[in-house]
Structure 1
Amino acid sequence: MTAILPDAAAANWVDRYAPQSLRPWLKLGRFDRPAGIWLLMLPGWQGIALAAAEKGQLPNPWLLIAFFVGAALMRAAGCAFNDIVDRDFDAQVARTALRPIPAGLITVKQAWLFLVGCSLTSFLILICLGWVAIGLGVASLVLVAGYPFMKRITWWPQAWLGLTFNWGALLGYAAATHTLSWSAALLYASGVFWTLGYDTIYAIQDIEDDALAGVKSSTRRLGSKVREGVAIFYVLAFVLALAAAWVGGLGPLFLPLLGLFGLHLSRQAFATNVDDGPGALKIFKSNAQAGAILVLALVAGLWTPAGF
């Protein structure tokens, strides 16, 4: 019988409804913790929304669905790869010791098969998105493959995660337009700092165990200045999102919702407490809402009220 993992909700659907035999596999792919799916998918939706707004159109619903499915699968594949590489570290950290591989519920060979299956299914979606998107999708594998090793060689693995998780902003824009632009690049940069902020908050949960295991993180590097660091990252995310809209020629209706996005981020930074692990997890999960607000802001930018 599998245990409810520390960073999963007690009432998560996997532990409540999934057959016992499937639970280790679903937990390997983090389907019991869907926040990561949203955080991987939302940059893609943002890229799609930006491209559509620049054309004065609503986002293509089929592209949105494709990116939702692709994000769920690639997040599962990435988590499996991360757990394969980190299995010895995970066994030393209280929050991760009960994951399927260190807990002995799934072997490394089985995890590799799971990873390949998810990746191949995602590739079938990718090849329908055009050559530019295909090239970006293949290039993203370098970022995905490198991420588990970053915590061994740099104090800023959260920055690498930002580069990886927000690649979807470029991919979504390319899928919608078959090209790239400076506005898409600015949106991507905004997302990198957004992720750097929220994953620094997330790593508060592990700060003591990471120190004992020798795992590096932006949270450990910032120390008592975590709140200030997160605030700086979020200010940069806000300014770069504004710049992306400006370069993309979005309408003024983008601004009120961008202000709400900025307010959400500022409240997160203010509430961040390096001594409050459970609170950090709650703040981290709220970023699904923040990312959705930015999607809506980009969609609103396609309209220009009369008189402007």
Structure 2
Amino acid sequence: MTHDPLALPDAPKANWVDLYAPAPLRPWLRLGRFDRPIGIWLLFLPGAMGLVFGAADPLSPEVAYKLVLFALGSALMRGAGCAYNDFVDRDFDAQVERTRLRPIPSGQISPKQALLFVALSALISLVILLQLGPTAIWLGVASLGLVAAYPFMKRITWWPQAWLGLTFNWGFLMGVATMKGTLSLAAVLFYAGLIFWTLGYDTIYAYQDIEDDAMIGVKSSARALGAKGKSGVSLFYAAAVALTGIGAIVGGLSWPLYAGLAAVCLHLFWQVNTLRIDDNARLLKLFKANRDTGLLWVTAILIGHWSA
């Protein structure tokens, strides 16, 4: 099999899109980032946490069904969000080595075609959203404001990663609302903790582009922290564990939760301990490792239901 010259440099090697997708479909799949599933995981896992957090019986068939809906919705909305982000950032992306081959700046897909992709993905997602209950539906509609504003945050604030945290973890609130029909202080505290989690892992990701971002004038938490990246990520992760732990306790979860949180702590400590802000391969590995962090958090909530 010959190498595709338009394969993106930051996509996993030998991913399914490059290997198996028909050539005409590859630009569209790359536009939605289906060649790199880590983003789908990071969008889906907060929703999974919310469903389990809000469920009376987290192992019920209803929860399993809603997990499937959230997984499909996460894949579609992540694709729509990436396409919209690329539409807004197409001029910036053309100047950055890691992103210049993306479908829009490379000319494989026109800006108008990208917006049609966004609209279709959002329409299918709406069909899924309508099955989640009134409160979750309104939260889903409200999330569109967060999604629409995100690409502009790097022009406005040094902390666009915090806005991504608000956006990517909104699914936690939707998951709780789907199961309970309402939100609580416990859910808001847990959500706040997840925002800090995203702020940490996306700061790690942002260090890959720090030189290009400085050259073209794009702001990021990595540029704001500079050489203090390890200390900053440590603080973000500590806040994440503290707030999610408090939220879980306020929510009435039982003591086995602490065993799960201990595993989360150890995993995040490993990330910080091995972080090298000038090693792009290491940065990408640590960023992707947060799929496992999210799975550990889901497990912590599950075992916290024991004897709760």
What is the TM-score normalised by the length of structure 1? 0.96
Q: CA offsets, 1:75-104, max 9 Å, x none?
A: 000000000000000000001000000011
> Counterpart of 2:15 in structure 1: which amino acid?
N
2:246 counterpart of 1:246? no
Shift of 1:191: 0.7
Shift of 1:196: 0.1
Contact 1:4 1:10 in 2 (8 A): no
Matched with 1:280 is 283
SS of aligned partner of 2:79: helix
2:39 counterpart of 1:36? yes
Contact 1:48 1:175 in 2 (8 A): yes
Matched with 1:63 is 66
Aligned partner (choices 217, 224, 227) of residue 220 of structure 2: 217
Contact 1:2 1:24 in 2 (8 A): no
2:188 counterpart of 1:170? no
2:62 counterpart of 1:21? no
> Counterpart of 2:276 in structure 1: which amino acid?
N
CA distance in 1 between counterparts of 2:208 and 2:268 reads: 19
> Counterpart of 1:58 in structure 2: which amino acid?
L
What is the RMSD computed on CA atoms of the aligned residues?
Answer: 1.1
> Counterpart of 2:303 in structure 1: which amino acid?
A
> Counterpart of 1:104 in structure 2: which amino acid?
G
Aligned partner (choices 78, 81, 87) of residue 81 of structure 2: 78
Aligned partner (choices 1, 5, 10) of residue 8 of structure 2: 5
Aligned partner (choices 117, 121, 140) of residue 118 of structure 1: 121
Matched with 2:157 is 154
Gap regions ≥5 residues in structure 2: none
Aligned partner (choices 48, 51, 57) of residue 48 of structure 1: 51
Q: CA offsets, 1:92-150, max 9 Å, x none?
A: 00010000000110001110110000000000000111110011000001100000000
Q: CA offsets, 1:11-47, max 9 Å, x none?
A: 1111011111100000000000100000000000000
Matched with 1:194 is 197
Matched with 1:108 is 111
SS of aligned partner of 2:6: coil
Higher relative contact order (CA 8 A, sep 6+): 1
Contact 1:30 1:76 in 2 (8 A): yes
> Counterpart of 1:106 in structure 2: which amino acid?
I
Q: CA offsets, 1:231-264, max 9 Å, x none?
A: 0000000001111110011112211111001111
Contact 2:51 2:58 in 1 (8 A): no
Contact 1:40 1:168 in 2 (8 A): yes
CA distance in 2 between counterparts of 1:181 and 1:58 reads: 22
> Counterpart of 1:127 in structure 2: which amino acid?
L
Shift of 1:279: 0.7
Contact 1:2 1:23 in 2 (8 A): no
SS of aligned partner of 1:21: helix
SS of aligned partner of 1:68: helix
* Cα separation, partners in 2 of 1:251 and 1:150, compared to 1, 3 Å: same
Shift of 1:57: 4.1
CA distance in 1 between counterparts of 2:157 and 2:74 reads: 26
CA distance in 2 between counterparts of 1:241 and 1:179 reads: 18
Shift of 1:301: 1.0
> Counterpart of 2:245 in structure 1: which amino acid?
L
Contact 1:150 1:160 in 2 (8 A): yes
Matched with 2:144 is 141
Aligned partner (choices 202, 206, 219) of residue 203 of structure 1: 206
SS of aligned partner of 1:11: coil
Stretches (4+) displaced over 3 A: none
Shift of 1:2: 5.3
Does 256-265 or 269-278 show the bigger shift? 269-278
Gap regions ≥5 residues in structure 1: none
Aligned partner (choices 231, 236, 241) of residue 234 of structure 2: 231
Contact 2:9 2:98 in 1 (8 A): yes
